[in-house]
Amino acid sequence: MATESANGVSSPELNERDVVITTNDNRNFTVKIGVARVSKTINNMIQDLGESLDLSSGIPLPNVDGPIFEKVLEWCEEHKNAPEIKVEQDPHTRERKWFTMTEWEEEYFRKFLSHLWDLAMAANYLEIPSLYYYTCQKLAERIKGRTPEQIREMFGIEDDLTEEEKAEIRRTNVWCTY
């Protein structure tokens, strides 16, 4: 992150200023720059615009809608001072450590359980590593051990496989764990 930022104002001061972000359903969100910067995508925009950044006219986000952005903002507010998360490995077993979530984070995902896919998409687009990794982990936790039918039902996936294709998949996936 650059220490000297847009408008020639140093970073801590800039972080306290407000910026307007417009989502694709034309809703305007007034956000502290320090919070918005949790998203690498928004941070890059702020830096790229530099001198020409007009804080009042806002930054457009064509790929995110209002309700989801609201939820993302909640996360950003909580994580504005959090250090960047690292994908860690156990040095002995080389096994990746699963992220342990704080109580707040667990509660956050419980609240928005039905929006996990949207959150993953938004976090991916906005480049918020913490939200992205945690959401993917949550999704994986939900998929684990479920049958294809259950997965389809849970996430509202359309079954577009023909009977033949399903039979073929069954033939080639005749594995079980032992």
User: Where along the sequence are the contacts to another protein (CB under 8 A)?
Assistant: 89-90, 93-96, 117, 120-121, 124, 132-133, 136-137, 139-141, 143-148, 151-152, 155, 157-161, 165-166, 169-178
> What is the token pair recorded at 129?
């590593």
HSE-up (13 A, CA, CB side) for residue 1: 18
We find the least distance from the C-beta atom of residue 88 to another protein, in angstroms, to be 10
CA 158 to chain centroid, in Å, comes to 24
Residue 50 DSSP symbol: G
Strand ranges for 25-126 from DSSP E: 28-32, 59-61
CA 176 to chain centroid, in Å, comes to 33
Compare residues 8 and 145 and give the one whose CB is closer to another protein: 145
Compare residues 78 and 127 and give the one whose CB is closer to another protein: 127
We find the least distance from the C-beta atom of residue 169 to another protein, in angstroms, to be 5
Residue 4 DSSP symbol: B
Compare residues 58 and 129 and give the one whose CB is closer to another protein: 129
We find the least distance from the C-beta atom of residue 173 to another protein, in angstroms, to be 4
Compare residues 51 and 95 and give the one whose CB is closer to another protein: 95
